Every structure is written in structure tokens, then in C-alpha cells.
Chain A
């Protein structure tokens, strides 16, 4: 099976712009989660989608949003970019959402905000 794919792999934006990142989960996986990784804050949970519904959200401002399509592909959007949004954004998929489910990660999208 193909793994989780994320596009683009690298992005450079300027402050105030918006950006959309894309994630394709492993075939058959219905849950997609997004995480932000920075040197200062480490890995932090952004949100999780299941069957096109956002079910959980981390402690991030409303500028961070996302959606999931009927084929389980997901996008996240960050509006009005700030320098502090520079990070590696990781997408993870799992078949379900039980506590024993394993989340499989993509390679990430590295965003640099200038």
C-alpha cells in the first residue's frame, strides 16, 4: 500500500499570505490528523477529521482550519500567515480512531514564512 503523501513538500510564503497544504491518507484509512512541529514547541496536535467531520481541535487560533473530502483526502489552510507559523506540518492517517490505532505519518510539508 502506498503511504501517506503530502504536497507540497516545501513552501515559502510571506507574512499576511495564506497557504493550503494537502494530505492523501493510506488507502482505506478514514481518520486524518494534522500536527505542527517546531523546534520550540515540539509536536503539537492541530485537528483531526473523520468521515469529513472535524471531531477534535488543538489549541490553535482560528487562522488554522481544514477539511476532509469524501475520499478521505484532507487539506489544511492557514490564513494571514505569521512568522511563527514557520514549521513542519505533518499529516497522519489511521483506519479508525480507537486508542490502540496506529497513526501513520507522511513526510511533512515544510513551511517557511518570511
Chain B
């Protein structure tokens, strides 16, 4: 079945460092791809999405490009802040008999130190 693989964490960075969180997927067809973020004690918030190959999703300084040739959707940010500390989930939209479900990676913990 379809699946998502994320780099293991935790990732620990100093403030203003460059961030990359790797995400690769296995899927039939061309699913939509998402990054969600989860802050402590909260649910998931959509960070960005891309619905077709070569699309770039961006939000709050985060970016990710849908790469069909490498089946990847890596998350990047040029300068992280302490407030970016959270768990980041990569996900794909998996077609079912009716509608879709989200298939998530294991999540990557990001810790940003001041």
C-alpha cells in the first residue's frame, strides 16, 4: 500500500539555522502531499500542501516541492525560530473505494534552541 517515510528525529537546531526534514513516499498514481505540524498538547495544523508534480507549497516561511522523479516532498525553512519547535508530519492522500484517507509518516520532532 501507499506509505510515507520521514527522517527520524529529534532534529535539534539553533535559532536562525536552516531546516530540512526529509520525506519520501511510495504511491500508485499521483497523490496530494501535505505537511502538518503538531504543537504540544494540540491537534494537527495544516502547514502546506501540493497537489501535483513540481508544485511548491509554502506557508510561514516553510516550503516543500512535490518531486515526482524522486518521490519526495522535503520540508525546508531558511531560518527557524524557537516557536517552530513542534512535531512535523508528512502525509499523502490515499485513494479509497470512496474518497480518500491521509497516510502519515512517523513524524519528526524539531527542537530549536535560542
Query: Which residues of chain A are within 8 angstroms of B49 by Cβ–Cβ distance?
Result: 102
**How far apart are the CA atoms of A102 and B44 in the complex, in Å?**
12
**Residue A1 CB within 8 A of the other chain:** no
Determine the residue in chain A with the shortest Cβ distance to B99: A97
Residues 33 to 91 of chain B near chain A (Cβ within 8 Å): 34, 36, 42-46, 49, 51, 89
5 of the cross-chain contacts (CB-CB < 8 Å) are A33-B101, A42-B104, A90-B44, A101-B100, A102-B46
**Residue A103 CB within 8 A of the other chain:** yes
Q: Say how far B105's CB is from chain A's closest CB, in angstroms.
A: 8
Other-chain residue from B34, B45, B97, B103 in contact with A56 (beta carbon distance below 8 A): B97
Query: Which residues of chain B are within 8 angstroms of A106 by Cβ–Cβ distance?
Result: 43
**Shortest Cβ-Cβ A-B pairs, 3 listed:** A97-B99, A55-B98, A43-B104
- Please state if A42 and B101 are interface contacts (CB–CB under 8 Å): no
- Please state if A107 and B99 are interface contacts (CB–CB under 8 Å): no
- Please state if A105 and B43 are interface contacts (CB–CB under 8 Å): yes
Other-chain residue from B36, B102, B105 in contact with A45 (beta carbon distance below 8 A): B102
Known: A42-B106, A56-B96, A105-B45. A99 touches B31 (CB 8 A): yes
Determine the residue in chain B with the shortest Cβ distance to A54: B98
Other-chain residue from A42, A55, A92 in contact with B99 (beta carbon distance below 8 A): A55
Other-chain residue from A6, A50, A101, A103 in contact with B98 (beta carbon distance below 8 A): A50
Known: A42-B107, A56-B96, A90-B44. A103 touches B102 (CB 8 A): yes
Query: Which residues of chain A are within 8 angstroms of B51 by Cβ–Cβ distance?
Result: 99-100
Determine the residue in chain B with the shortest Cβ distance to A103: B102
**Residue B24 CB within 8 A of the other chain:** no
Q: Say how far B36's CB is from chain A's closest CB, in angstroms.
A: 7
Query: Which residues of chain B are within 8 angstroms of A4 by Cβ–Cβ distance?
Result: 43
Q: Return the CB mask of A14-53 against B: 1 if under 8 Å, else 0.
A: 0000000000000000010101000000110100101000
**How far apart are the CA atoms of A55 and B101 in the complex, in Å?**
11
